[in-house]
Every structure is written in C-alpha cells, then in structure tokens.
Chain A
Amino acid sequence: MAKTQIQNNIRKLRFFEDEMTQQQLAEKVGVTRQTIIAMEKGKYAPSLELAFKIAHVFKVPLDEVFTYHPEG
C-alpha cells in the first residue's frame, strides 16, 4: 500500500483524549470512519481544512498532529 509523505499522531492523540473512538472523531470532523482509518495508516493525506479540524478537536497545533517526511 502506498504511504503518503505526511504522517500523523492521530492514534496517539485519540488515546490521550480518553480513548476517543475513530467513529467519534469522524463525527466531530465530518468524515467517514474509513477516512480516519486511512489517515491513521498513513494512506491518505487530508485537505488543509480537515487537518485543521482534527487539530482543533484535540486542541493542539497542526504540527503536533501532522508531520512531513519527504522521501530520501
């Protein structure tokens, strides 16, 4: 499976948010649970708007959720 160059800490942040479920996060940011799963696996890079929404849910800056890992 192709991984994007943008990795994230969503799984860890969910854990520290009282083990928030993928479904709960999906409902808070208005996407399907499958999209959250794809992001957690690093298979999908979200839009800037969705990235900000996720950071807003966890009340952290964007770069604490997403990090850029260029190839090579």
Chain B
Amino acid sequence: MEPLSFQEKKSLANLFSVLLVIGWFVWYVWYRHPAELSGEVDFAFWGKTMLWLMPLQIGASILIHILLVILNTIATREEDPGIEDERDKMVDMRAGQFTLSIFALGFVLSMIPLALGYSPVWMFVGLAGGLFLSQITWCLTQFYLYRRGY
C-alpha cells in the first residue's frame, strides 16, 4: 500500500475535526440539555446551537491542521505544499458537488418530521445530521479522489 500523501492525511484530519464537532453536538444536546429534545421547543437554544457549529468547525479544522503540519513535518520531513494547484481545485470541486447533494438531501429529509407533525426539534436534529453527513462526505470523497489520482 502506498504511503499517504499530505493531502490524503489532510482529508483524514478534517474528518477527525468533523467527528470532534459531532461529538460536541451530541454531548451538548443529549447530555447537557436533554430537556430540549422533549417538550416545548426553545428556538433560541436551537438557533444558538446551530450557529455555534460553524465557528467550532472552523476552530477544530485550524487546530487539527496545525497539529497535522507539525506532526507530519516531524515524522516525514515533508512540509505542507502551501499552494493549491489545478488538481486540488478539481478534487475540491468534485467533492463539493457530492457534499452539496448530501446537504440538500439532508435539508429535504429534515422537513419530514415537520410534515408528519413531530416536534420541530427533530427538524433541527435532521439539519445538523445532514450538515455532518455532508462534511463527512466531503472528507471521504476528497480522500478517495486523491488516492485514485483524481
């Protein structure tokens, strides 16, 4: 098996940062505020929680990226390429297409609980689920495309 390139390691590191944020979401909603999953819907709580996802994801990605660069440089003496070339852009574009499709599907599926008369809480959970699934798809598609060549 070929050793992993920096871009492949970066895709896996991004996947790890997504898993960290999912872990935070599950911990925050299910363990810190379990009451929010039943009873009256607190839209302010869900609005804040969803808004927190973005900075948390950006922060986690930056932190994991810094750690990856340091550990990778120590282990392999190979530095971050530092540029994004045409292959990177094509991989990003293709992974982006899959990601957008999954997110759109997640958005549509998150409307089902509302249509069936369930609490809007499940719409928010569905939206977050779609978002996480699309980010996981992004990382895995990138990894696959880099591994394949494009």
Contacts and interface: CB of A to CB of B under 8 A. Distances in A.
Contact of A44 (B7, B81, B83, B150): B150
Contacts of A14: none
Interface in A1-50: 1-2, 4, 30-35, 37-38, 41-47, 50
B141 to A, nearest CB: 15
B149 interface: yes
Bin the interface of chain B by size: 10 to 19
A4 B150 CA distance: 10
B88 interface: yes
Interface residues of A, number: 19
Contacts, number: 45
Interface in B107-150: 146-150
B5 interface: yes
B87 interface: yes
Contacts of B86: 31, 35, 46-47, 50
A contacts with B: majority SS: loop
B98 interface: no
A30 B147 CA distance: 21
B149 A41 contact: yes
Interface in B86-111: 86-88
Nearest to A38: B149
Contacts of B81: 32-34
B6 interface: yes
A50 B150 CA distance: 15
A41 B147 CA distance: 12
B148 A31 contact: no
B47 to A, nearest CB: 41
B149 A1 contact: yes
Given A43-B150, A44-B87, 19 more contacts: A1-B147, A4-B149, A30-B85, A32-B7, A32-B81, A32-B88, A34-B146, A35-B85, A35-B86, A35-B87, A35-B88, A37-B5, A41-B149, A43-B148, A43-B149, A44-B149, A45-B150, A47-B86, A50-B86
